[in-house]
Structure 1
Amino acid sequence: MWSRRLAIGAVLLSLAFLIFRDGPTGHPPPVRAAVAPERIRVPAQPAIVSRAAWHADESIVKEEAQYTGAARAVFIHHTNNGNRYDCDDAPEMLRAVQSDHVNDEGWDDIGYNFVVDRCGTIYEGRAGGTTRPVRGAHTKGFNADTVGIAALGTFTDPATPVPQPMLDAIERIAAWKLRPGTDPRGEVVLVSTNSESLYPKGNSADLQVISGHRDSYGTDCPGDALYAKLPEIRERTAALRRAVSGSPDLLPATTVARKHPAER
């Protein structure tokens, strides 16, 4: 037994000698405490009126929400409603849009992920959770990994003024929902999933990160007046992201994604 202990002691003494010989001279470096990964700084989630608050008709929703990847692009729409509405009437107008999308268009639910009114109020559109990457039904061929934002109104006439609060709301959503590493002023390559779009199924499309509906489908949506505002929307969205991150494309540090409560 003693010989066995002596053998073990000799091995430990040899290891200690090797560590001392190969180690750096001078004082050893201090032991650093573990540092939690830096959280990605993104614009705060804007205030959003829930489906429950605008009394979405859940009885007509045909299927549960589907989910895709984080938003690589945003598509801007208009709803073709009148423009001179009282903003208190926006919930009723949204219910009419939902009914049209489900009962007339045959979709599962309202197609847009978000709708904004002329007063700048943001409404939850399609069901599934505002913080989650809900697959919309707003842009044929390009609903995956995108967000659809609709302006409540009609902007076909180039002379139609687009209310600034409405533009501000669109920019807040885009700055919040676009995934890290995406510059709102840049371009993105998306693959079409529907030949009814401007791009046959399976073909790649070079699009602006913030595009109008007409960029991917044969329509005048979101109207000439709102479409002309897209360069301004891109710049102001980039500025919102830069304000919290120092970079418009939010180049991420290592982070751990937080799960939505429904996923826990």
Structure 2
Amino acid sequence: MQLLRRRGYRSAAALAVLVLLGATALWLNPSGAPPGTASSSSERKRAHRALHQGPRPAIVPRRAWHAESVDTAPGARYAPSVKAAVIHHTSTPNGYDCATVPRTLRDLYAGHAYGRHWDDLGYNFLVDACGTIYEGRAGGVDRPVIGAHTKGFNEGTVGIAAIGTFTPGESVPEPMLDAIARLVAWKLGPRGPDPRGSVTLVSTHDEARYPKGTKAVLPVVGGHTDGYPTRCPGAALYAKLPDIGARAARIQRR
């Protein structure tokens, strides 16, 4: 009898310990989800957003192509975020040796900073035929720098210039398309819109296609011509913009 009582006592004590451990586990993980899994809606949303962040591509910094600096240039200005990518072409000759691109960038810089008095390159980034991405306008490649590339829609957009001329009949190099897509996938960020879709932007200038103050629905991956009356980025490259958007979406795992 005493042996049974001792066994019963031990069983009751063990049961009490199990109940206490269960209560503690529930307090630590109230959702009841297995350890290591998302236990709240906000955590699941954060995990979902993280899937849409494209990795940062390799970018050649300004100092590598010997960018000058306008002495009177004001500091960089920043938008809250990047909502769209505006694709340009530089209207410079095709068929170049990619080793000569830094010299081309310096010539473009002189034309923008001094010839047009923009204080710097208008484009945030430039991409050559070999798929090399160059930092353009100063201010930090990982920040939403406001460029001088699309009058009326500079704020909240990233200006990406394809080095070359892409009028009808020209071919767009595959490495260039791939690099632009990777850059778009990264710059739009995890909270950015789907590269295959559209976005509403407010015009800030009457010389744009839309008068100042107008809400314009534009492609997330669009051309200079979408927001400003110009033929840039050329018909050949413009026709590739849906493909660039689709590539960027795949990179973002959408």
Q: TM-score, normalised by structure 2?
A: 0.81
- 2:92 matched residue in structure 1: 81
Match of 1:28 among 23, 26, 51: 23
User: More displaced, 63-72 or 216-225?
Assistant: 63-72
Does structure 1 retain, via aligned residues, the 8 Å contact 2:123–2:148? yes
Match of 1:115 among 108, 123, 126: 126
> What SS is found at the alignment partner of 2:193?
coil
For 1:239-250, what aligned pairs fall within 5 Å after superposition? 239-242=250-253, 248=254
In the other structure, the counterpart of 2:116 is: 105
Q: Which runs of 4+ in 1 moved over 3 A?
A: 33-39
- Give 1:28 shift: 2.3
- Map 1:1-264 to 2 at 5 A: 28=23, 30=25, 31-32=27-28, 40-41=50-51, 42-59=53-70, 62-156=73-167, 158-179=168-189, 180-242=191-253, 248=254
In 2, the alpha carbon distance for the partners of 1:181 and 1:76 equals 17
Q: CA deviation at 1:181?
A: 4.3
What is the deviation of 1:60? 5.3
Unaligned runs of 5+ in 2: 1-20, 30-34
Deviation of 1:70 (Å): 1.4
Identity of aligned residues (%): 54
Residue type of the alignment partner of 1:136: G
Q: What's the CA shift for 1:67?
A: 0.6
Cα shift at 1:32: 2.1
Amino acid at match of 1:89: T
What is the CA-CA distance between 1:43 and the residue it aligns to? 1.7
Shift in Å at residue 121 of structure 1?
A: 0.3
- Distance verdict in 2 for CA 1:120–1:27, change over 3 Å: closer
Listed one character per residue, the Cα deviations across residues 93-137 of structure 1 (whole Å, up to 9, x for unaligned) are 001111101111111210000000000000000000001110111
SS in 1 for 2:28: coil
State the secondary structure of the residue aligned to 1:58: coil
Partners of 2:70 and 2:120 within 8 A in 1? no
SS of residue matched to 2:217: strand
Give per-residue Cα distances to partners, 1:180-211, cap 9 Å, x unaligned. 24100111000000111000000010111110
Q: Which residue identity lines up with residue 176 of structure 1 in the other structure?
A: W
User: TM-score normalized by structure 1?
Assistant: 0.78
Does the CA contact (< 8 Å) of 1:61 and 1:109 recur in 2?
Answer: no
Q: What CA RMSD, in Å, does the superposition of the two structures yield over aligned residues? A: 2.2
Task: Considering fraction of residues, name the structure with more helix.
Answer: 2
The 3-state SS of whatever aligns with 2:153 is: coil
Question: What count of residue pairs does the alignment treat as equivalent?
Answer: 219
State the alpha-carbon separation in 1 of the partners of residues 133 and 121 from structure 2: 15
For 1:123, what is the secondary structure of its paired residue?
Answer: strand
The CA distance in 2 between the partners of 1:151 and 1:177, in whole Å, is 16
- How much has 1:159 moved relative to structure 2? 1.1
Deviation at 1:82, TM superposition (A): 0.4
TM-aligned CA distance change 1:78 to 1:60, over 3 Å: farther
**1:232 Cα deviation after fit:** 0.7
